[in-house]
Amino acid sequence: MFVLENGAKKGEDPRLQAISEAIRVVPHFPKQGIMFQDITTLLLDHNAFKDAVGIFVDRYRDMDISVVAGVEARGFIFGSSIALGIGAKFVPLCKAGKLPGEVISEKYVLEYGTDCLELHVGAVESSERVIIIDDLVATGGTLSAAIRLLERAGAEVVECACVIGLSDLKVRCKLNGKPLYILLEPRQIENGF
């Protein structure tokens, strides 16, 4: 299941328009051909940021979610806010070597190499219902690793959610059948390429 909140119906919810407009698009960053979706400008607009978090809170408030897992680093920003809003605990999923104490790890493949996510042992309990939050999904590799990591820890991953995401079939296939909820497709700018 893939749910794109705004898609072609961008005008249906005025909050989505304001959220989209608050995200700066930086052409050719970090390399030629990339249209970087910079959410730091969204964070500067407290109304747009509050609305983005509010849409997620509205979605998850009544879904019996006990854990919000945020992917380092921008997933921490949205995830912790959503966790507060729905009364759930927040669990950070960090890059290798960033968490003190005992951890479990999940390696995954990137376009240009490999990476790893880690979770504190005992951070989630068996059968806890979890949503995974990140700012952007492009290929689904990081979210898939997060799903595997949390499921190895005994959690029930209910859904993955991102502020920005591609509505590409390849992304959906990599999420192990888990639903993907996104607010916005990446915004393009005129004369960007």
Q: What's the predicted TM-score (pTM) here?
A: 0.90
> Can you name the CATH fold of 64-184?
Rossmann fold (3.40.50)
Predicted local confidence at residue 166, as pLDDT: 73
Distance CA 67, CA 87 (A): 9
Q: Which helix (H) or strand (E) holds 141?
A: helix 141-152
- Could you tell me which residues are beta bridge partners of residue 118? 94, 105
Residue in this structure with the two tokens 């979210």, named with its chain if needed:
143
How does pLDDT run across 89-116, given as a tens digit for each residue? Answer: 999 999 999 999 999 999 998 877 899 9
Coil/strand/helix, residue 109: strand
Q: Please check whether residue 117 is in contact with residue 94, taking contact to mean a CB–CB distance below 8 angstroms.
A: yes
Which pLDDT score, from 0 to 100, does residue 172 have? 63
Phi and psi, residue 147, nearest 5°: -60, -50
Q: Which of these is catalytic: 15, 59, 74, 172?
A: 74
Question: According to the model, what pLDDT value does residue 33 have?
Answer: 86
Compute, in degrees rounded to 10, the torsion defined by CA atoms 48, 89, 145, 174: -60
In the residue annotation, 172 being an active-site residue is answered as no
Domain boundaries defined on the chain = 64-184
Per-residue model confidence (pLDDT) at position 178 = 93
**Averaged pLDDT in 10-residue chunks for the chain of 193 residues:** 44 84 94 91 98 98 98 97 98 97 94 90 96 92 96 97 77 78 86 51
**Residue 74 annotated to the active site:** yes
Looking at residue 176, what is its pLDDT? 83
